[in-house]
Amino acid sequence: MSRVINPETAGKQRNRLVKGLVISIRALMSQPDIDDSSLDVAAFMALSLETIAKTIEATVVPWEKRDYWVKADRFRMEWAWAEILGAEMRRAVLEEDWELIAATCVRVADRIKNVKVSDRHRMGEPWVGAYQILVAGT
């Protein structure tokens, strides 16, 4: 029996989610008014940040098995913001606190400012229906 290789690694998932965050921040900041679509975008950001935080452990476990403790701890510290901002964004979306959502968006944007995503990306609108998923998950 041959080995099964999963091409969907935690790093690839994290990169795709970070690009989704960039796109969602652009979409949220370009909306003239707050509507249901705005809630979907903010909910998508909260879910993405929480998922990014979960991928961190999957990334560092193999390093720890090889006794790369410093590398694993450094990586955890580098990505610790995702869990904090994800919880903050979840609370803000559920309370519909738009001031906190905007402030959290700015903090997230500051963390991912070096990520480049073309205006002609093929990701579409991944946030459609995200608010219902967020509410159902609580």
| Residues 18-31: tens digit of each pLDDT | 999 999 988 888 88
Confidence of residue 1 (pLDDT cuts 50, 70, 90): low
Cβ atoms of residues 105 and 28 within 8 Å: yes
**How high is the pLDDT of residue 27?**
87
Task: Tell me the DSSP string of 7-57.
Answer: S--HHHHHHHHHHHHHHHHHHHHH-SS--HHHHHHHHHHHHHHHHHHHHHH
Cα–Cα distance for residue pair 125/108, rounded to 1 Å: 19
Give dist(CA 7, CA 79) in Å, integer. 22
Confidence at residue 70, expressed as pLDDT on a 0 to 100 scale = 93
Is a pLDDT exceeding 90 seen at residue 118? Answer: no
Q: What is the pTM of this model?
A: 0.87
> Could you give the CA distance from residue 93 to residue 115 in angstroms, rounded to a whole number?
24
Greater pLDDT, 125 or 62: 62
Q: Write down the pLDDT at residue 51.
A: 93
Mean pLDDT of 53-72: 92
Q: Which residue has the tokens 């995702």?
A: 82
Residue 129's pLDDT band, with cuts at 50, 70 and 90, is confident
Confidence of residue 131 (pLDDT cuts 50, 70, 90): confident
Mean pLDDT (whole number) for 87-97: 92
Q: Which residues, in sequence order, are CB contacts of 130 under 8 Å at separation 6+? A: 40, 41, 43, 44, 47
Residue 48 has a pLDDT of 93
